[in-house]
Structure 1
Amino acid sequence: MYFNLIIRFDESSAMPSSRMFEHTDPEIKQSFERNGKPNLRALCDLPTIMVKEFGPDTGKQTARIGYIDSPSMCPTMKNPIFCFPSDLLIEKQILGDETYTPNQLKWVGQHTRWTVFGGDPFRTLFAGGQLEPENLDCSRAIDETMVAVMMPFNRGHHSIDPVFKAIEEGVEGAGKTASRVDQRTAPANIPDDIRHLIRSSCAVIVDLTGLNSNVLYELGFADGAGKKPILIQKGPIDKLPFDVSTRRVIAYQEDKDGLDALSKTLTREIRDF
């Protein structure tokens, strides 16, 4: 897995070609070049951290993680999956490491650059929910009977969503219960509910249909929490984000036969989990 880190003083300006692939491992750089130029389409498929320059002269900034809107040397990110303090990039050693002096670390974020790193940025930044210490109850028990379901809600309430009903039937066939966050009736903070649901479940099913940004964040959080999500998607499996494209994804059709087949496949997957 790879990800971009894009730092600019002015996010309305294009990345200077001299700063492209700065501090990128030569082998990684070669993988994302075509005819000696950046392969912007391939880079666009990578998860991306974007932040304005931060340091003594500019102060702290809010960093965003998500996907670039379109291939460009002046990338934008209109719908980030998550925002976090820029200092976390130093704390998690995405920028700098133990060889840097305190003074070097102060200035490491105040430099325009586009770097491609190897690794999972969601796991590095958010594993275990570090951004919210109050949610870090490591003793929280896993419910071996519950399977968390992360999916778009555009088909309506869980009680009338045919895909969710098929998932429910498949999970029940394996002797477990499917749980979707909108089944909870008590008022609560929905993002907290989602994270709790993922951490406390024995398995996680993720529907990638439409590449919904919330669902992609939930997939990243599930990865960071040490889960091994079962991935499904409506229709043929064609263009997926680079870091997901190497994983097994179960394709389904949204008709009676297709949903029956999905239920049976999920029953087998969960029994073998």
Structure 2
Amino acid sequence: MFNLIMLNIDWTSGKGSIPIDRIFEYTEDHIKDLFLDNGRPSLDRLRALPCLFMEEGTGDETVYVGQLIRARIVGGEVSFGFSLDADVPPLQNGFIYERQLEVDMPRDFEFSRNHWAVKDVDLYRFLLNSVRPRRQRPTIFQISEHESIEPTLASAMMPFAAEFSDVYTSIQQAATNAGLRCRRADDIWENAAIIQDVVALIDRSRVVICDCSGRNPNVFYEAGIAHTLGREVILIAQSEYDIPFDLRHLRFVKYHNNTEGREALATALTGRIQTILGH
């Protein structure tokens, strides 16, 4: 069973109220009898049920799943507090309307009246069978369910060739100037597979600097991971032709791999990182 509470309120507020005479509307009598004490709603028993929180309508109105955390009768109103289930993505009234028989809402006009009903339906089984599953997680590498960004960590994705050693030094200097520390995947050995170290480093980083010089496929792959994870990515390259076609609409820092060019790179990167950090 579940509570269906339909009200035109801000469901993100965590609180609401409803006239007591609107409780048990559109509820079967034998269900209603289970939640009455001396003719009044048994709020303790109702609180034990999961909830579907809705506004009136059959379109793109937002529907939430959650739980009552408190409820009491005040005069002719039931005042209640609730929490929303963060593991269930918000739905829309249209989604529920298309499946109205499955949630025991066969009458269209039930979608146009503020009320509190109790439905003899397993809400979570309904959701499990009806809502799209979460996006498939990667199998080549692992990412933690909850991100843990280190606010002072930057990472550099670049070729490991010797000619890029001084470039990495300039990137490290820029990070230091901006109050960050910079690491590269070959600085760490935490996992048996290097790709896992690379991904873990990207996932923890506040800023990811990707050197596309030489069109290194590993760097392109790592830039894609960083963008997918929502990290702040700074592209650098020795030639604009090194930037992949799909990324050429993004700004990048062009540099020359000589003493003067690397100093200019460090200056440009420092400014860009400071802008990202809001300094």
Taking structure 2 as the reference length, the TM-score comes to 0.48
User: Which structure is larger by alpha-carbon Rg, 1 or 2?
Assistant: 2
Give the number of the structure with larger relative contact order, counting CA–CA contacts within 8 Å between residues 6 or more apart.
1
